[in-house]
A and B are shown apart, each in its own frame.
Chain A
Amino acid sequence: EVQLVESGGGLVKPGESLRLSCAASEFTFSNAWMTWVRQTPGRGLEWVGRITSKTNGETTGYAAPVKGRFTISRDDSKNILYLQMSSLRSDDTGMYYCVRGLPGHWDDAFEIWGQGTMVTVSS
């Protein structure tokens, strides 16, 4: 079964850092463009950022609220996607989902979702 499993969430203080991981299985991870989406009570679903495949240059893109603070990377040898978050703020609090799009619709049709990992930023 195609699966994404996130880990690494938790409670951190404002200004601290956290790294999320997403383990992929049962599909060719190296070919996939991968996305992080978060869900917060106040803003609903929010696109966080994306990384293309190595073949496509591992190009990253980020939403304005996280640009410069969050970094997406991937380890194709381990089938793992990462989200490094720094200078965390209270409005970063939410459920973070690792997502894979439909092949050919990597950026616009999010077919496979992980179960999510909760990030809470509070003093």
Chain B
Amino acid sequence: QVQLQQSGPGLVKPSQTLSLTCAISGDSVSSNSAAWNWIRQSPSRGLEWLGRTYYRSKWYNDYAVSVKSRITINPDTSKNQFSLQLNSVTPEDTAVYYCARFYGEIVGAYFDYWGQGTLVTVSS
């Protein structure tokens, strides 16, 4: 059974950096079948995929165009976790942030495990 445990502050000041971590149990961040993702959800933007990190003989990162200039997702193999950093935040970045595993099989791929969600509010 895979479990994803999120941690990080729920309040960030405007212009500062939002940082969250997702600790993985029951799988490896270096898995060749999974990608490790960050997604956020707000009433105004709905569900928004932010980016992912995954290992296929080497590490890859992909980011959504909407946040590409401000986002970094890093794997940490020593702790079996991955992190999200979003720079220069504004109140528009206020949302519930989720980490999730995207698992790929021959027949298809899908999100099957999610973190508990973290409400991050951007406010001074």
Are these two chains actual partners, yes or no? no
Residues of A within 8 A of B (CB): none
